[in-house]
Structure 1
């Protein structure tokens, strides 16, 4: 097997591991915290960015195959610690808020208008905190007018 293919496969493997821990921390410290009904697999699949994944695949593949072992271990170790840091509750919650939460949004349905924060924008439903009601509500995406 050529070194280029080894680099690609190694990069994909290490990037997948980093992604796994990043989304595990988000699931544990944000999704479960707000009692949002979404499976880990859906969360993981729906929020992958192919450009970021490809960049880290190429970067980590190059690092693991072509660089000195000490440098490769140091860089991958640091990246692992950064992605695994989402398992620390305040860090995981803050990272998830940056990725998933949309603040100060107004949503319109046929009958009502809601103002608050989108906690999670799922495939069919939106988990929304309404500032007026002071509680979390679930809204069907098909009922919402316009873009939010």
Structure 2
């Protein structure tokens, strides 16, 4: 029974941290660059779900059943506060750029056109690529093909 409790409580605590981070990224990174993807799609596509399952079991067990659980609870509170810092616009934008922004590259917006655009990939969605042009500083949406 300890293992089942540890797993489900661990999932709640781990997802709370990740959700706190992504809410900050949504308001300070994706809204800043006008990425028009739904929050749920960004969240589901960006979270490594296979890593969350074992992490949540270990974390749930550590937070409830180990002798040093007070230390783990303090550590969790610090992690949660650090993730809440992503709600601050400047810091959240830097975190989003670190996670999602690609290197300077050249992209062809359409296979039919014979032009290329230089810039950075801001986010690769399911159907579109959000690309920050280096010449105009505007984000353009390019359909994935």
TM-score, shorter chain, exceeding 0.5: yes
Q: 2:118 aligned with 1:119, yes or no?
A: no
User: Structure 1, unaligned stretches of length 5 or more?
Assistant: 143-148
C-alpha contact (below 8 Å) 1:103/1:118 kept by paired residues: yes
Q: TM-score, normalised by structure 1?
A: 0.86
TM-superposed deviation, 1:132: 3.1
User: Per-residue deviation at 1:102?
Assistant: 0.6
Aligned positions of 1:60-71 closer than 5 A: 60-67=59-66, 68-71=68-71
Q: Which residue of 1 aligns with 2:52?
A: 53
Q: Which runs of 5 or more residues in structure 2 are unaligned?
A: none
**Further displaced range: 14-23 or 45-54:** 45-54
8 A contact 2:7–2:58 mirrored in 1? no
- 1:21-100 equivalence runs, <5 A: 21-67=20-66, 68-100=68-100
SS in 1 for 2:16: helix
- Please give the alpha-carbon distance, in whole angstroms, between the structure 2 residues aligned to 1:36 and 1:120: 8
Check conservation: 1:107, 1:115, Cα contact below 8 A: yes
- Distance in 2 (alpha carbons) for counterparts of 1:118 and 1:61: 36
Classify the secondary structure of the residue corresponding to 1:129: strand
> Contact 1:6–1:65 at 8 Å: present in 2 too?
no
SS at match of 2:96: helix
CA distances 1:93-126 after superposition (whole Å, capped 9, x unpaired): 1111111111211112321211101111111111
Distance 1:85 1:133, change over 3 A: closer
Q: Does 1:137 align with 2:140?
A: yes
1:39-79 Cα shifts (integer Å, max 9, x gaps): 11111101011244235313321222213452232021111
Between the two proteins, the alignment pairs up a number of residues equal to: 141
What does 1:97-108 correspond to in 2, within 5 Å? 97-108=97-108
Residue in 2 aligned with 1:145?
A: none
